[in-house]
Structures are given as structure tokens and as C-alpha cells.
Structure 1
Amino acid sequence: MINIGLTGWGDHDSLYEGVKQSSGKLEIYAGHFPTVEVDASFYAVQPLRNMEKWTRETPDAFRFVVKAYQGITGHERGEIPFETRDEMFQAFIDSVKPMKEAGKLAMVLCQFPPWFDCKKENVQYLRVCREYLKDLPCALEFRHQSWYSEEFRSQTLSFIDKENWIHSICDEPQAGARSIPLVPDPAGSEEVLFRFHGRNEAGWTKPAKGDEWREVRYLYDYTNNELEELAGHVKSVSSKVKKTYVLFNNNSGGHAAGNAKQMIDILGLDYRGLAPRQLDLFD
């Protein structure tokens, strides 16, 4: 099973053109795609009312990939409002309960920052994270090239398998140590996550002020040839696992939704159980 979607549901204007938004964007989004990444959970542990609302607004077959809170993965772009590590992890675990209990939690995504390189203390911290999150399916994504260096690649993939992580396979600009190669290997898991960040090398490495980094870094429109190439990797890996999730993160220029639909067409997917589509005046 291959589920294709986007990171977030708020930034994809092409999905909402000509539609009366009497209901929320998520309900409309769920008429196009069977899965989505929740990004708000990275910036703040979400209150139960939000998670319950999003769970309620989506069809039974819909699945969420919930991005782990920034304090868990060491980004810390702002004040961390928890006094202890135990309190922080427990608050996050409690927040995803509505999705888990409804059977709509595909996985938690732990994306570590570019400065989180392959060294002993970081390997130990990954074990700590997995122990805290042991009752949740968790994907592991790196941003530092050292994890997939010739020296450590096989050990990294073996570690992902032994510690019961889901491998997050990324397509992103190849821009030195602070980027990772595409490694289409399920690493022993029965599930896998692909995240496509675009290939804007200049934007990936360019220093940006404030929130500009997001607008610059993920500005990219995949060509049909590139999508065909990526679809080949998705198809190959999906033949080795039970479930495959594919998320397009090239949101800056509004290209993610179109690229995701192209990928659906290339793979010949036909999703059932989506939310009813709202029709515009002339449909």
C-alpha cells in the first residue's frame, strides 16, 4: 500500500481554488490525499482539542504522520516550556492519543537537525528517544551526511532495524555534510517513509533571516523525469514492505500538491475512502 500526501494542509492553494470553504481546509485536503504530515506538533505540543478535531474531520482510512516536538529532536527554536525530559516526552505522547486510539496515527516523525552527526552520544540519545516512544511507531530522519557515509551506512541501517525505527528516505539537495543522500532501503521495517524536499541546492545552503529559510529552502518543482525516477524508488521499496508513505515537502512555491498528484498518476494509484470532494459552481 502506497499512501501519498503533503507536509501540512494549509499552504496548498491549488487544492482550495473555486471551493467554498464552509468546512476547514483539512476536510477539503482529505478529499485529495489519504495522508498528511502534521507540522504544528513540531513547534508546540498540540492540545488534545486540536488532535481530536483533526481526527474527527478526516475519513476512517486517513492517516497522520505527526512530526515530533522540537525539544525531542534538539532543534529548540524557542523556549521549551517543560521542566524535565520526562514531562516533555509524556506531554507529546499524550497529545497523539486521539489519533492513535482512532487508528489514524501512521507514525511519529523524529527529524534530527543538521548538526546531529553520527557519534556515540547521539546514538545513545536515539536509544533514549526510542525508549520513551516505545509504544508508538516512529520514523527516523537524519540531516547530517555522516550517518550514510561509507564508514557508517550499513551500521546506521542495521541500527534502524534493531531499534525498531521506520526509515525516512529523503530526496533533497546534495549540498555537503548538512544533507543526506537518497538511500532507498527499508532497513528491515515493514513500513517506510519517503519525504521529498526538492532539489534547490542554492536555497538549501543559503543563509536566511527569520522564517525566510522555509520559503527559500523548499522552493522547487520536480520535473516529470525526476518524478519518474523517484517513483521507481518508491515502487521498488514498496514491494518489500507492507505500507509506504510518501510526503512532498516542496511547498514554498505551491508545487507540492501538483507533484504529489503527478506521482499518483505515474504509479497508477486510485484511492478509495477519501473525503467527499466539494464541487465548485460549474462541476
Structure 2
Amino acid sequence: MIRIGLTGWGDHPSLYDPEAQASRLESYSSYFPIVECDSSFYAILPEKNYVNWIKETPENFQFIIKAYQGLTGHLRGRTAFKNIGEMFDAFRKSIDPMLRSGKCAMILFQYPPWFNCSGKNIDKLRYTKQKMSGIPVALEFRNPSWFSEGMKEKTLKFAEREGWIYTVCDEPQTETGSIPIVPAAWGDRVLVRMHGRNKAGWQNHGPNRRKLRCLYRYNRAELEEWKSRLINLEKKADNVYVLFNNDSGGDAADNGRQMIRLLGVSYPGLAQKQLDLFEP
């Protein structure tokens, strides 16, 4: 099954009726069956947050939880925790309600651009997998060395052998900070993240970098190209989770709905009256 969703539910104005009583998450879940929770990347959240989100969504709705940035090295060691083990324990405790609810599709570990292919970092991946034992975890790289000549197949075999869910990325192609499209998949599920193709924005490190980084709208031809890839990925993995992250200009929601129509898929449990709002 191919499930389409977006990264976060708060920044997609085209989905919300300002006069409606429903929360943004409730409105969002009438359009899409999955969502990435990205606030968990910036802080280890209180358990009550997850409890509330579980209550606001349909029974078959699923979350992809983005792992806390301290666990992936984005903080470069700056943390209030005594050690990395304590940090992992706190994160696992915080997401416990989501795990018990059955609504957690996976935890996404997205590593920073400086996380290169090295023995030290492979050990970190093994440690992470150990600390997250029993939980489905997805792996996303940003450093191209993992897919350099002679390393791509080794990287994929390692990820499959270690039990990671692979993340296929569509993103601007730069010398550093991005990886190529590698449509690999295995096992029960695969994750696809659509970051857009705004090369200038992707490389921007100024004060507006977050607004520009994923400012992009996929055109019909690009979505058709991805439709074929998604259908092929579904032949390799039972469940394909697709997240549009090109939300800087409100394009993710429109592209996500376009992809649903192109694939001709429907999701039980979503409000039919909302689905009828899709543009022809």
C-alpha cells in the first residue's frame, strides 16, 4: 500500500477552514493517512503531547516520529543530558504512548550532512539500532559518501542486514549535503521523503534558510516520474510511506493531493466530503 502524507500538520493553510471547530491535526487527518511529527526533532516532548495527538486522529492514522536532534548528532554534543544513553532513554519514554497506541509507523533518524561514511559512524548506527530495539526505525543520510562509487551497495546491504527501514530521498543534487535518488526497498516498509529541487535554497545558510530550503512545487511530469517509482517500490516493500517536505510555500499539500489522484488511491477512515474538494 502507498500512503501519502506531509511533514508536519501546522503549515498547510489550504487544508484548514478558519470557521471549523476541528484542530489543524483533525483537519489534516481528513486528507492524509500519515504525517511526520517534526516537533520531536527539536525537543524531547512531554508524553501528554502524543496522548492528545492520538486522540485527535482516526484509528487507522499513523505517525512517523522524527528522532530528537541530539540523538543524530545535529547538536554536536551540546546537551543537558549526562550521556547519550540517558538521552535515548528519555526519548523512548516520551514516545511510549505513541508506541502503545499502534499509530507509530516508524521513528525517522535523519543524520546531518557531516555524518559521513566511516567506521565510527557505522558504530553509532549500530548503537542506535540497539537502543531502539523492538521499534521500527528509518535511516536517512545527507552525506553523499554513503553512496559514492563502491559504497552504495555496501551501504544498502548494511542497512538491510541491520534491520533499518530505508529512506529514499528526492532532493537538490549538490556536492555536499545531499544524496542521489536510490529507489531501494526491502521488507515490510520503505520511506520516501520529497524535499523539492530548489538547489539555491538548499545551499542557503542565511537567516531565511528554513523558508528557502524546501521552497519548491513539483510539476506534473515530476510527479508522474515519481508515480512510476512508487509503484515499483511497492513491489519490493509491502508499505510505501511518502512524505512531501516541500512546504515552505504551501506546495506540499497540493503536491500530496495531486499524487493521491495520480495513483488513484483512497484511504478508509478519511472524510469523503474533504476528499471531494480535490481539484480536477
| Partner-residue secondary structure (3-state), 1:178 | coil
Q: Distance in 1 between matches of 2:183 and 2:233?
A: 7
C-alpha displacement of 1:275: 5.2
Deviation at 1:274, TM superposition (A): 1.9
Measured in 2, the distance between the counterparts of 1:278 and 1:230 equals: 25
Secondary structure at the aligned position of 2:247 is classed as: coil
Task: Look up the match of 2:278.
Answer: none
Please report how far the alpha carbon of residue 278 of structure 1 lies from its aligned counterpart in structure 2 after TM superposition. 7.1
- For 1:2 and 1:165, the matched residues in 2 are separated by 19
Conservation of the 8 A alpha-carbon contact between 2:187 and 2:236: no
Which residue number corresponds to residue 67 of structure 1? 66
Give yes or no for contact 2:113–2:177 (8 Å, CA) kept in 1. yes
Identify unmatched segments of 5+ residues in structure 2: 276-280
1:105 is the counterpart of 2:104 = yes
1:247 to 235, 243, 250: 243
Matches of 2:95 and 2:272, distance apart in 1: 25
- Matched residue, 2:80: 81
Displacement of 1:80 in angstroms is 2.3
**Are 2:262 and 1:266 equivalent residues in the alignment?**
yes
Q: 2:194 maps to what in 1?
A: 196
Secondary structure of residue in 2 paired with 1:270: coil
Aligned partner of 2:3 in structure 1 is 3
Q: 1:252 to 1:78 in 2, by over 3 A?
A: farther
State the alpha-carbon separation in 2 of the partners of residues 61 and 119 from structure 1: 39
Residue type of the alignment partner of 1:100: L
User: Residue 122 and residue 213 in structure 1: after superposition, are their counterparts in 2 closer, same or farther (change >3 A)?
Assistant: same
C-alpha contact (below 8 Å) 2:159/2:165 kept by paired residues: yes
CA deviation map 1:144-185 (0-9, x unaligned): 111111220000000111110000000000011221001001
1:163 alignment partner in structure 2? 162
Distance in structure 2 (CA, Å) of the matches to 1:123 and 1:241: 24
Report the 3-state secondary structure (helix = DSSP H, G, I; strand = E; otherwise coil) of the residue aligned with 1:109.
strand
Aligned length: 275
Q: What residue number does 2:222 align with?
A: 226
Q: Which amino acid aligns with 2:258?
A: Q
Asked whether the 8 Å contact 2:66–2:110 carries over to 1, the reply is yes
Q: After TM superposition, which residue ranges in structure 1, 4 or more long, deviate above 6 angstroms? A: none
Report the more deviating stretch, 235-244 or 102-111: 235-244
Deviation of residue 207 (structure 1)? 2.0
User: Given the alignment of the two structures, is residue 33 of structure 1 paired with residue 32 of structure 2, yes or no?
Assistant: yes
Gaps of 5+ in 1: none
**Is the Cα contact below 8 Å between 2:106 and 2:138 reproduced in 1?**
yes
TM-score (norm. length: structure 1): 0.94
RMSD: 1.6
